[in-house]
Amino acid sequence: MIAGTGCGIITNQGAYPDPLGEGKSYFRQIALFDDKFLPQFEQIAGYIHDNGAVAIQQILHAGRYGGIDLGYCVQPSVVPQTLPHFRQPREVSKEQIKAMVTQHAEAAKRAIKAGFDGTEITSFMGYLLANFNSKFTNRRTDEYGGSVENRGRFMRELIYAIKEAQGDDHPLIVRLNGAELMDVHGGNTEDECFELMKMAGDAGVDMISVTVGWQEAPESSIGRDVPPGHWNRLAIRAKKLLPNIPITFGVRLPNPVMANQNIADGEFDYWEVCRPMLAEPELLHKAAEDRLDEAKHCLGCMNCLARLFRDLPYLCTNNPALGHEVEPEYLITPAVVKKKIMIIGAGPAGIECAIAATKRGHDVTIYDKSDSIGGSLVGYAAYDIANKADLQSQISYYQTMLNKLGVKVNLNTDVNPKLMRSILHQYDVAVLAVGAGVDTSVIPVPEQEGVLVLAADVARGKVNVGQKVVVLGGGKIGLTLAEGLTQEGKEVTIVEKEKRIAGDVIPTWKWRHSSWVDQLKIKTLTLSKPIKIGVGGVTVVNDKGEETFVEADTVIAASPRKPNQELFQEFEFMVDELHGVGDAMVPRGLLQAIHEGYRLGVRI
Amino acid sequence: MVSTIGEMFLDAQGWQTILDRRPEIFTDMLQGASLGILPKKELESTGGTMLIWIKQVDKMAVFYRPFTGFQNTSVDLLMIADDVALESLHSKAQENPFYEMREQIRNGNILYYVMKTKNELLDLGYEELIDVLGIPFLGACR
C-alpha cells in the first residue's frame, strides 16, 4: 500500500546499523547490521520499484535516543537526558566512532545490495549525527568536538564512507536541521546549522532534507499549533545556500497544493511527506485527480509519535487501517448481505461507520437531533486555540463524503422509542453513536435559572456566556472551552475534582493544555468540587474542607461525562442488530470514535 | 541577611523554608530520592558546589555537595539555574517558589536533566514534583 501511494521517492523507515542495538530508538525498529536481514529489504525494495518509485533506505542510529532495549545510550559526550523516556548516556571513544562509521557504511552497502537505489542518514530530532553536530550534546575536546568544523567531522566521515561503500551511482541523502530549537540548552544556532549544511554539500551529499527541532525542543515544530508553512523559510535559506543540491522539505507542510506552489516558487525541490500520508495514503492520487475534498487530513495530534514514546507501534487518529493493511478485518470489502442500516448520531463515530458501510454496499441513513453534522467535534473545532481549520477540515471531509456516497442524513430528528415504533422493520441494523453527555446529577441544582449551562450547548453556540465563567471539569472539554473563552476575553476559573487537570487528554496535548492554562492565566482549583451554585457565583470546597466563593455569571458543566446509553435497552427488541460505538459506549475521544466507527462499518 | 547570588545559593535555611512550605510535594518520595540545583556558571567547573534536596524519613532536606561533572552526579534530577532564576526563587521563598520554578523552567532560566528513567522516577515517587514543575514527563512529541 505504501509503495502504491504515488510518491516518486520512497524512503523506508530507518534501520539501525549496529549489532548491539545502541542505535535502536523505538519498538519494532528494523535492523541492517547483518546479511541475514537482506530478504526483507529485498522484498521492500521490490515493492517500491514495482510501483515505479525510487527506493531509499534510511540508516538511523538514534544516539541519544537509542539503546531502547539497553540500559544506556551512546553520545559524543555525557549530557544527561531532559526526557525520562530515554536512556542515560555513555561517551563514545574514538575507536567506537570509527566503528560506527564502518557500521553505517556496511549498512548502506547492504541496502544497495538488497536493491535500494540509495540511502539516507539523518541528523535531526537529536539522533546520533545530530548529537555530534550540536554544541548541546557534543562537548568533546578532541578532533570530533569544539568548532563547527570539528563537530561536523563525524558527518563528513559518514558521508565519505557511505559514498565509497555504495558507489557514485547511488545517491546519499542527509537530513539536517535548519533549526534545532535547542537554544536554551546551548544547541546550535541557525547559522551553525546552515554551516553544517554547507559542509554536507561540500562533502558530496546528493540531496539534503531540511528538518526542524529535536525531540527535547521546548517548543512545537510539527503539531497542529504550528501554522502550515511556518518553517518554509528554512528550506528557502537552504535552497539559496545550496542552489545546485536538491532540497527536500515537508516540516508542518501537510497540504499538497501548498507544497506544489512552494516548489513552483522555487522554495525547495521536493515535497517530503510522512504524517499526512499516514492519515491519507491516497493523498497524492486524490490531489492529482482534483479530489482533495475526499482526502482525510493529518490533524496534527501527534498520537502517532506518542505511541512510539510508549514503545507501541504507530497508529493514526484519522486512519484506523494504518498498520493493519494486510488484515482483511480492517479492509472495506463488499458486504455479502446488503443491509439497511440506521445510524443514530452524526458525530465522527457515526459518520465513519456510515462511510465504511456505504462503501461496502449497505444502504445507510444517519439521524441526528442537532441541526448539523460533526457531533462534539463541532465544539472542539470552534474553540480549539491550536488550529481550528484542521478540525473543521474533518467536518468538511465528512460532509463531502456523505454527499458523494449518497448517505441520507436526517438532521433535527430526535430518535426515540416513538420514532422507532413508527419505522419498525425498516432497518436491519441500528448503530447507536450518540456520544456522551454530562452527568448533571452530581452538580448542585443552581439557585438561579439560566446560570448553569451544558458544555455542548456552549460549544455549539446555543447559549450566551457571561463575562465571569466557572467551568466545572478540567478535562479536555472543559479546558478547550476555558482556553477559547479566555481568548475571547472572559474571566474563566476551572474547578476540577481530581488532583490534576487534563486527566483525559492525550499525552501529546497534556503539556500544551498546561502551558496554555498558564499563559492565559486561567485560574484552576483542583481537588475541588462545587457545593452551591448561587446568585453571582459558585461555592467550591477543596479536599481540606475549605470553601471558596468564585464569582460567575455562567457556570459550564463539562464534567463528569456519562455515555448516552439509554437507547440501548429501549431499542433491544426493535431491530435485528443493535450496535454501539464511540463515546456512547465509554466517553473517550476522537481517536476511539473514528476507529470504532470504522471498525464496525467494515464488519456489519 | 543574604544579599549576593552566592550567599543566596548557600543559604541553606532559606532553601529549607521553601521545601517546608510544600511538604506534600515530597510525601510520596522514597528516602534518598534527590534533586540537585547547580548554578549555571559552575556547570563547566570541576570544583563547583551543588545544592541537593535529599528525601529523609520525614521531610525533604537541604544539603551541599561538590559538583564534578555530569558523569559523577548521583542525583535523580538536576536543575541548572542562572543567576536570574536563583535570585527569583530565593526572593519568593515566602510566596510560591515552586510556581516560580516552573516559570523559570518555561523561560529557559532553569534547565533540567533527568538522571533516571521514567519508571525509576515514578518508583521513587517523583510524579507530584514533576507535575508541579511542569516537566514533560513521558515524551514531549512536539
Residues A62 and A184 both lie in one domain? yes
- Specify whether A130 is located in the same domain as A33: yes
Q: Who contacts B131 (Cβ-Cβ below 8 Å, separation ≥6)?
A: A500, B137
**pLDDT-derived band of residue A150, with 50, 70 and 90 as boundaries?**
very high
Cα→Cα distances A110→A17, A191, A315, Å: 10, 35, 29
The pLDDT of A188-193, averaged and rounded, is 98
pLDDT tens digits, B16-70: 999 998 999 999 999 999 999 999 988 877 678 999 999 999 999 999 999 988 8
- Please state whether beta strands B77-81 and B60-67 pair in parallel, antiparallel, or not at all (unpaired): unpaired
Q: Are residues A63 and A195 in the same domain?
A: yes
DSSP A296: -
Judge whether A243 lies within some domain: no
Residues A215 and A79 reside in one and the same domain = yes
In the numeric block, which cell numbers belong to residue A284? 497524492
Length of chain A: 604
Burial of B23 (0-12, 13-18, 19+ CB in 10 A): exposed
153-212 of A, contacting B, C-beta below 8 A: 181, 183-185
Closest Cα partner for A137 from A198, A214, A61, A191?
Answer: A214
Cross-chain CB nearest to B108 (options A184, A220, A308): A184
Mean pLDDT of chain A: 95
Percentage of residues in chain A with pLDDT exceeding 90? 89
- Asked if the C-beta of A542 comes within 8 angstroms of chain B's C-beta atoms, the answer is no
Domain count for chain A, please give it: 3
pLDDT for the residue A45: 98
CATH number for A461: 3.50.50.60
Task: Report the gap between the CA of B114 and the closest CA in chain A (Å).
Answer: 5
Which helix or strand (DSSP H or E) is residue A7 part of? none
Q: Which residues of A touch B69 (CB under 8 A)?
A: 78
User: A219 touching B, CB under 8 A?
Assistant: yes
The structural domains of chain B, with segments of one domain joined by +, span: 5-128
Regarding whether A116 and A196 lie in a shared domain, the answer is: yes
Note whether A217 contacts B70, CB cutoff 8 Å: no
CB under 8 A, 24+ apart: contacts of A66-70: A66/A16, A66/A21, A66/A22, A66/A23, A66/A24, A66/A25, A66/A127, A66/A128, A67/A21, A67/A22, A67/A24, A68/A21, A68/A24, A68/A25, A68/A26, A68/A27, A68/A29, A68/A311, A69/A21, A69/A24, A70/A20, A70/A21, A70/A22
Residue A494, domain member (yes or no): yes
Does A300 fall in a domain?
no
The x, y and z cell numbers of residue A107, run together, are 549498512
Residue B142: is its pLDDT beyond 90? no
Q: For residues B51, B56, B61 and B63, what is the CA-based torsion angle, rounded to 10 degrees?
A: -40
How does strand A247-249 pair with strand A363-367? unpaired
Per-residue model confidence as pLDDT tens digits over B66-118: 998 888 888 999 999 999 899 888 888 778 888 889 888 888 899 999 998 88
Q: Extract long-range pairs of A394-398: CB within 8 Å, 24+ residues apart.
A: A394/A296, A394/A297, A394/A299, A394/A318, A394/A348, A396/A293, A397/A293, A397/A294, A397/A295, A397/A296, A397/A297, A398/A348, A398/A351, A398/A355, A398/A373, A398/A374
Nearest to A221 among B106, B139, B142 (CB): B142
Residues of A in contact with B138 (CB under 8 A): 84-85, 309-310, 507
Residue in B closest to A181 by C-alpha? B142
Query: A84 and B113 in contact by Cβ < 8 A?
Result: no
Q: What is the ipTM of this complex?
A: 0.86
| Other beta carbons within 10 Å of A214 | 30
Q: B1: distance to nearest CA of chain A, Å?
A: 32
The per-residue DSSP string of A252-275 comes to T---HHHHHHHHHTTS-SEE--SH
Indicate the pLDDT class of residue A384, thresholds 50, 70 and 90: very high
* Facing B115 at nearest CB: one of A88, A302, A308: A88
End position of a domain, from candidates A179, A203, A219:
A219
A14 and A111 fall within a common domain? yes
Give exposure, A536-565, as e/b (b: 16+ Cβ within 10 Å). ebbebbeeeeeeeebebbbbbbbbbbebbe
In sequence order, the β-bridge partners of residue A487 are: none
CB proximity B137 to A under 8 Å: yes
Instruction: Report whether B49 contacts B63 (CB < 8 A).
Output: no
Residues A207 and A99 in one domain: yes
- Whether residue A257 lies inside any domain: the answer is no
* Average confidence (pLDDT) over A75-87: 92
CATH of the domain at A113: 3.20.20.70
> Which is nearest to A456 in space by CA: A540, A382, A537?
A382
Per-residue pLDDT at B133: 87
Query: Does any domain span residue A116?
Result: yes
Task: State the CATH architecture for B5-128.
Answer: 2-Layer Sandwich (3.30)
Q: How far apart are CA A351 and CA A342, in angstroms?
A: 11
Grid cell, residue A584, equals 456512547
Higher model confidence: residue A587 or residue B94? A587
The DSSP element (H or E) to which B30 belongs, if any, is none
- Measured between beta carbons, the chain B residues lying within 8 angstroms of A507 are 138-139, 141
Cβ neighbours of residue A517 closer than 8 Å, sequence gap 6 or more: A479, A482, A483, A494, A501, A524
C-alpha–C-alpha distance, residues A568 and A388, integer Å:
34
Do A78 and B69 make contact, defined as CB atoms within 8 angstroms? yes
Q: Which residue in the set B115, B134, B141 is minimally distant from A508, CB to CB?
A: B141
Q: What is chain B's alpha carbon radius of gyration, rounded to the nearest angstrom?
A: 14
Residue A371 has pLDDT above 60, yes or no: yes
CA A75 from chain center: how many Å?
A: 28
Cβ contact B140–A81 (<8 Å): no
User: Same domain, yes or no, for A26 and A128?
Assistant: yes
Q: How confident is the model at residue B138 (pLDDT cuts 50, 70, 90)?
A: low
Minimum distance, in Å, between the CA of residue A325 and any CA atom of chain B: 25
- Grid coordinates in use for B76? 535523580
Q: Is A381 helix (H, G, I), strand (E, B) or coil?
A: helix
Question: Phi and psi for A373 in degrees, rounded to 5?
Answer: -85, 170
- What are A524-545's pLDDT values in tens digits? 999 999 999 999 999 999 999 9
Cβ–Cβ below 8 Å for A82 and B114: yes
Task: Say whether both A400 and A499 belong to one domain.
Answer: no
Query: Mind telling me how many Å the CA of A527 is from chain B's nearest CA?
Result: 14
Name the closest residue on chain A to residue B133, using Cα atoms: A514
A166: left (phi over 0), alpha (psi -120 to 50) or beta: alpha
CB within 8 Å: B78 and A218: no
Residues 53-112 of B with CB under 8 A from A: 69-71, 73, 78, 102-103, 106, 108, 111-112
Over residues A556-578, the pLDDT tens digits come to: 999 999 999 999 999 999 999 99
| Contact (CB, 8 A) for A582 and A435 | yes
Q: Is the pLDDT of residue B139 over 60?
A: no
Half-sphere exposure of B16 (CA within 13 A, CB side): 10
A250 in a domain, yes or no?
A: no
Min CA distance, A360 vs chain B (Å)? 36
The residue out of A219, A234, A259 marking a domain boundary is A219
Separation of alpha carbons A530 and A303, rounded Å: 33
A157 vs A141: CA distance, rounded Å: 18
What is the pLDDT at residue B137? 60
Residues in chain B within 8 Å Cβ distance of A223: 141-142
Per-residue pLDDT averaged across A371-378, rounded?
96
User: pLDDT grade, residue A71 (50/70/90)?
Assistant: confident
Residues A91 and A182 in one domain: yes
Highest mean pLDDT among A401-405, A460-464, B69-73: A401-405
Question: Which cell goes with A58?
Answer: 534510511
B96, B18 contact by CB (below 8 A): no
Q: Which domain holds residue A506?
A: 439-561
Same domain, A82 and A135: yes
- Cβ contacts of B11-18, under 8 Å, gap ≥ 24: B11/B90, B12/B62, B12/B63, B12/B64, B14/B90, B14/B93, B15/B51, B15/B53, B15/B62, B15/B90, B15/B93, B16/B61, B16/B62, B17/B93, B17/B94, B18/B89, B18/B93, B18/B97, B18/B98
Instruction: Answer left, alpha or beta for residue A548, where phi above 0 means left and psi between -120 and 50 means alpha.
Output: beta
**Residues A98 and A17 reside in one and the same domain:** yes
At a CB cut-off of 8 Å and minimum separation 6, what does A389 contact? none
A119 assigned to some structural domain: yes
Residues with Cβ within 8 Å of A480's Cβ and at least 6 positions away in sequence, in order, are A379, A380, A383, A384, A385
Q: Work out the burial of residue A498: count CB atoms within 10 Å of its CB; fewer than 13 is exposed, 13-18 middle, 19 or more buried.
A: middle
Asked if A207 contacts A248 with a C-beta cutoff of 8 angstroms, the reply is yes
Q: Does A424 map to a domain?
A: yes
- Contact between A518 and B138 using a beta-carbon 8 Å cutoff: no
Q: CA-CA distances (angstroms) from residue A289 to A6, A270, A294, A295?
A: 12, 20, 10, 11
d(C-alpha A38, C-alpha A31), whole Å: 10
Cβ pair A376, A456 in contact under 8 A: yes
Which residues from B are below 8 Å from A216, CB to CB? 140
Contacts of B104 (CB under 8 A, 6+ apart): B81, B84, B85, B88, B89, B110
The residue out of A202, A219, A236 marking a domain boundary is A219
- Count Cα neighbours of A83 within 13 Å in the Cβ-side half-sphere: 19
**Is the pLDDT score of A336 beyond 60?**
yes
Give per-residue pLDDT as tens, A84-125. 888 999 999 999 999 999 999 999 999 999 999 999 999 878
User: Chain A residues with CB inside 8 Å of B137's CB?
Assistant: 84
State the pairing for strand pair A528-534/A523-525.
unpaired
Q: Are A356 and A380 in contact (CB under 8 A)?
A: no
